[in-house]
Amino acid sequence: MAHHIAVIAGDGIGTEVMPEGIRALEAAARRFNIDLEFTTFEFGSCDYYLEHGKMLPDDWFEQLKDFDALFYGAVGWPDKVPDHISLWGSLLQFRRRFDQYINLRPCKLMPGIKSPLAGREPGDIDFYVVRENTEGEYSSIGGKMFEGTEREIVIQETVMSRTGVDRVLKYAFDLAQTRPRKKLTSATKSNGISITMPYWDERVADMARQYPDIAVDKFHIDILTANFVLHPDWFDVVVGSNLFGDILSDLGPACTGTIGIAPSANINPEGHFPSLFEPVHGSAPDIAGKGIANPIGQIWSGAMMLEHLGYKEAADAMVAAIEAVLGEGDSQVLTRDVGGQGTTERLGKAIAEHL
């Protein structure tokens, strides 16, 4: 049975790392006898916007909804299109309309990668951030009043629903149950944000009663970011609202030195709609066009996609190939960000060969 993958490379280095993501996936597919069919789309980039005045065609939902997964590069190029237009016009549409309510990001110290934290070794840091991905602080309700005057105010609403909160918590608790340490940390700010965040805490406490075997703790987001730096070994599964999860899933990879190579999955767990897999890094206009971007984030995202499609063994093999090439530490192969002088293609090929 063929799996149909929609490919959207997007902007900047997205277009450079995407071919390497596909190369690695094709290598894994050959080895594990998986039938992947890729279909490339041009929309969802700022260049498309400049030509068409919108990020996506009107029928994008129809065009994409029957794919088994979306494989995404990176979107955004602020000099061409303001970020809130390019992102709300593409990535954030997919997350919402395809109800990808889980954003999942591993934070793992990999061999050969230097953590910016003193004295941390591979094995010391290995946790997941589970982020609510469709509501919360990323609402589109609100507006401006008294515009252009001294009395000008803007208001934006944070909206949390029981459905929205409970389903991400359930996913996070279920994930914690598959892990040896069975630990879940909730990100809150109920001491300062006095309506939505105490509600979040309530729902966590309620869900925890159904998972008596999971050790649950919570931290306010301010001290939680501090603890990512001071005690990254404390964490196993960390769950947060849309905004808090966003922050933690950049900070976590930064602490493991993997911000340039970390993957992310935007998941609709029920499979009613395609899930979307993308590297954490953005389109990086500053290094775009030079062929020096690190393709590992794209490849690792491909591994998460295979796992989602049911090929755990193939996914593990892809991650093992990444670890092997990083562990070899060949500076001709590795890209600049991880201490080498290699190109995007060279590193991508090395990983594909390992497969």
Dump the DSSP string for 179-193. STT-EEEEEE-TTTS
For the four alpha carbons of 268, 178, 130 and 207, in that order, the dihedral sign comes to positive
Residue 75 Cβ, how far from a copy of itself at the closest point, in Å? Answer: 10
246 part of the active site: yes
Is the separation of the CB atoms in 47 and 57 below 8 Å?
Answer: no
Binding partner selected for residue 229 from ligand IPM, a copy of itself, none, CB under the kind-specific 5 to 8 Å limit = a copy of itself
Is the separation of the CB atoms in 90 and 98 below 8 Å?
Answer: no
Residue 45 Cβ, how far from a copy of itself at the closest point, in Å? Answer: 15
Distance, CA of 315 to CA of 178 (rounded, Å):
17
Residue of 72, 101, 128, 138 with catalytic role: 138
Two tokens at 145? Answer: 């009043």
Do β-strands 275-279 and 263-267 pair in parallel, antiparallel, or remain unpaired? Answer: antiparallel
189 part of the active site: yes
Residue of 11, 246, 311, 337 with catalytic role: 246
The residue among 149 and 178 lying less far from a copy of itself, judged by its C-beta, is 149
Q: Give the footprint of a copy of itself on this chain (CB under 8 A).
A: 76, 82-84, 87-88, 92, 114-119, 137-138, 140, 142-144, 149-163, 189-199, 221-223, 225-227, 229-230, 242-243, 246-247, 249-251, 253-255, 259
Q: How many residues bind ligand IPM (CB under 6 A)?
A: 5
218 part of the active site: no
Residue 298 Cβ, how far from ligand IPM at the closest point, in Å? Answer: 14
For residue 183, what are the β-bridge partners? 215
Distance, CA of 294 to CA of 241 (rounded, Å):
29
Residue of 101, 189, 211, 236 with catalytic role: 189
222 in contact with ligand IPM (CB under 6 A): yes
Do β-strands 102-108 and 263-267 pair in parallel, antiparallel, or remain unpaired? Answer: antiparallel
Is the separation of the CB atoms in 18 and 7 below 8 Å?
Answer: yes
Q: Tell me which residue has its CB nearest to ligand IPM.
A: 192
Binding partner selected for residue 260 from ligand IPM, a copy of itself, none, CB under the kind-specific 5 to 8 Å limit = none
Is the separation of the CB atoms in 9 and 292 below 8 Å?
Answer: no
Binding site for ligand IPM (CB under 6 A): 87, 191-192, 222, 246
